Homo-oligomer: A and B are copies of this chain.
Amino acid sequence: MEKVKSVLRSKYVACLISPIVLNLLLIINNYVGVQWTLSRGWTSRAAAEAEAVAEISCSGHGIAYLDGLVGDGNEPVCECNTCYTGPDCSHFIPHCTVNADGGDPLFLEPFWIQHSTSSALVVSGWNRMSYTYSDHTFFSQQLESLIHKLHAFVGNAITQNRYIVFGAGSTQVLSAAAYALSLQNTTSQSPTRVVASIPYYPLYKNQMEYFNSEKFKFEGDAYTWKNRSDGSTNVIEFVTAPNNPDGRLNEAVLDGPNVKTIYDRAYYWPHFTPIQAPADEDLMVFTLSKLTGHAGSRFGWAVIKDETVFNRMVTHMHINSLGVSKDAQFRAFKLLKAVLEQGTGIFDFAYRTMKTRWERLAATLSSSNRLSLQKINPQYCSFYNEVREFSPAYAWLKCEREEDKDCYAVLKAANIIGRKEMCLVQKIIMFDSA
């Protein structure tokens, strides 16, 4: 009986207080200009933890994470960017070695910090536990629909009446495409010849050699095989446009009935290159990494014309990993929604950042007679409706002096790690979040 009374009293108190609290919140929201929200739910503990860790200051040269480094009291502490150290990452490490052999797209971190509300994601414990979505596929139809909208908005690819398959970054999508196209090789006994024009992204070679399938064999430079088709051997050419590493809008070198082409369109976004026209190739590969900067999420996709090739790529994802993490898909969904909400916002921010960094790099190198930088002529960009400079993701450097045979070593001596395979230095300065 006492308990019943207590419950009744509680309810009475609640009825009395709720309108007062809500009115006060309304007053605060209106007059103080800060958005206060009253949450009574299961999300409040996680929200408070996430907001607390976000408050930890790392001087703009690092971030503290809930699943990251912890201090003596098990509390999250700053994880500093390369070349910074100290409890709040404020200490610059002099003569620090710059690792330019990678393309970590951290230059977009500030954009997402600025758009924290629209990009925040809350995941319940019971969210998407099943292997599949309600249509029994591994791929979110809602996310696919956002991808269609985004390509239509940017005008960088035709996706209407095309199939879309997802993978763990473009990395998994690229090998899925190579498997799918080499399985089409039924007319020939010899393995499909896989090629790319030099300089190319080393992953193509690494994947083909590692997977070591009887169906395909990496055969190096596409130009070597031009006009040398024997008519019976099938060929897959990787065409990277814009190219990793030199930023050029590559076109296919080989053609003919036995040639299939995989267009790696990872960098075909207005912040890296002028968009000339919507790409409309048979098989195009994109990745979240170079669009929103979320390399860690591992989310990429292919846009495909042929249904059989699409089905084979779905099979690849099935056998390789039973599809793509639903958590990565949910994150991509939220991020792409935020991108679309902002209109040209992310592209404006990213282009500005890349252009500024490129100009600084070009200015620095212009006074050098030892190193020179690639030069690509400006082109008309349909997205911005004007002629625009390229602002590539990587610097493709040339050692001009006769005695500098080993360009990698030249850079190494200046504390810069380039890409060894090709005497390339990637423009890490563009990808530094500092």
A residues with a Cβ closer than 8 A to B are 9-11, 13-14, 17-18, 20-21, 24-25, 27-28, 31-51, 54, 63, 65-70, 79-80, 102, 104-106, 108-109, 112-113, 115-134, 140, 142-143, 167-169, 171-172, 175, 179, 203, 206-207, 210-215, 293-299, 315-316, 319-331, 333-335, 338
Q: Give Cα A119 to B31, complex, Å.
A: 36
Closest residue to A37 on the B side, CB-wise? B44
From B70, B105, B125, contact of A115 by CB (8 A): B125
Could you tell me if A42 and B31 are in contact, using CB atoms closer than 8 angstroms? no
Chain B residues in 8 Å Cβ range of A172: 320-321
Q: Give Cα A27 to B18, complex, Å.
A: 11
Chain B residues in 8 Å Cβ range of A168: 168, 320-322, 324-325
Could you tell me if B28 and A296 are in contact, using CB atoms closer than 8 angstroms? no
Additional A-B contacts beyond A50-B124, A321-B321 (15; CB < 8 A): A11-B32, A13-B28, A17-B28, A36-B40, A46-B122, A63-B126, A67-B128, A68-B140, A120-B125, A123-B331, A168-B168, A168-B322, A214-B214, A298-B323, A327-B327
29 A-B interface contacts by CB (under 8 A): A9-B31, A13-B27, A17-B24, A36-B40, A37-B40, A37-B47, A42-B116, A43-B51, A45-B120, A50-B122, A50-B124, A67-B329, A67-B330, A79-B133, A104-B130, A116-B124, A116-B125, A125-B335, A125-B338, A128-B297, A129-B295, A131-B296, A171-B319, A171-B322, A213-B214, A297-B326, A298-B322, A327-B328, A328-B328
Q: How far is the CB of A41 from chain B (nearest CB, A)?
A: 4
Chain B residues in 8 Å Cβ range of A63: 126
Q: Give Cα A315 to B118, complex, Å.
A: 36
Q: Quick one: given A40-B35, A129-B296, are A122 and B122 in contact (CB under 8 Å)?
A: yes
Q: Quick one: given A46-B121, A113-B126, are A41 and B51 in contact (CB under 8 Å)?
A: yes
Could you tell me if B54 and A31 are in contact, using CB atoms closer than 8 angstroms? no
Could you tell me if A130 and B40 are in contact, using CB atoms closer than 8 angstroms? no
